[in-house]
């Protein structure tokens, strides 16, 4: 979903006579915090069978989510970042209130043709998702139940938070592309001299 949003943002930026080069000079403050958060989240998935991860995985996830939210918060001067932040907070709330698991519609997964994911959730091999039917509080409305089915090539089930984040990414990418950056490049012109003694 986020990859498609970034691509759509680039397309819109090009239509609006933006420059892809602007993306390469975009400065994201605290970007290293997002990298740390990503490493933490990946580590909990890779080492989920370790006792220390099973005991403290919840706190690791909370720490990584806080780092991501902090990274977004210190970059609110950029277009679309507010919307990304709202989406991230919505997803964070629903996961925290459901034991570090994102509720997802199994019927939606079946409609999207993601049968392997359904089997993984039921067997416990996929530990970061739970069936949305198991949620009894209001957070089920923030879970993943919005289906993007086939023939869409990347069929999936998304949440309201995902939609906010995707819209924010589109606004961010195309906004940076059309921003009138002043890029100055110093060019060294070498002139050869031949001196005679």
The tens digit of pLDDT for each residue in 135-177 reads: 988 999 999 999 998 888 889 999 999 999 999 999 999 999 9
Crossing angle of helices 81-96 and 160-177, in 10° steps, is: 160
Residue 191 confidence (pLDDT) above 50: no
Crossing angle of helices 81-96 and 51-73, in 10° steps, is: 150
Nearest partner of 82 among 74, 64, 158, judged by Cα? 74
Q: How confident is the model at residue 2 (pLDDT cuts 50, 70, 90)?
A: confident
Nearest partner of 181 among 72, 21, 6, 16, judged by Cα? 21
Look up the pTM and report it.
Answer: 0.82
Pairing type for strands 144-148 and 156-159 reads antiparallel
Res 86: pLDDT = 96
| Residues 135/84, Cβ–Cβ less than 8 Å | no
Q: How confident is the model at residue 54 (pLDDT cuts 50, 70, 90)?
A: low
């Amino acid at each position: 979903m986020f990859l498609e949003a970034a691509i759509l943002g680039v397309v819109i930026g090009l239509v609006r006579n933006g420059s892809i080069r602007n993306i390469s000079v975009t400065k994201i403050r605290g970007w290293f915090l997002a990298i740390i958060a990503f490493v933490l989240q990946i580590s909990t998935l890779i080492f989920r069978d370790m006792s220390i991860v099973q005991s403290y995985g919840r706190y690791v996830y909370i720490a990584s989510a806080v780092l991501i939210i902090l990274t977004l918060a210190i970059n609110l001067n950029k277009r679309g970042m507010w919307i990304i932040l709202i989406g991230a907070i919505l997803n964070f709330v629903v996961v925290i209130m459901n034991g570090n698991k994102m509720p997802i519609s199994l019927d939606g997964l079946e409609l999207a043709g993601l049968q392997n994911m359904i089997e993984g959730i039921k067997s416990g091999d996929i530990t970061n998702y739970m069936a949305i039917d198991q949620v009894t509080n209001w957070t089920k409305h923030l879970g993943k139940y919005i289906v993007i089915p086939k023939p869409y090539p990347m069929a999936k089930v998304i949440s309201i938070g995902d939609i906010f984040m995707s819209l924010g990414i589109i606004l961010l990418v195309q906004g940076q592309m059309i921003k009138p950056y002043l890029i100055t490049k110093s060019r060294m012109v070498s002139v050869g001299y031949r001196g005679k003694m």
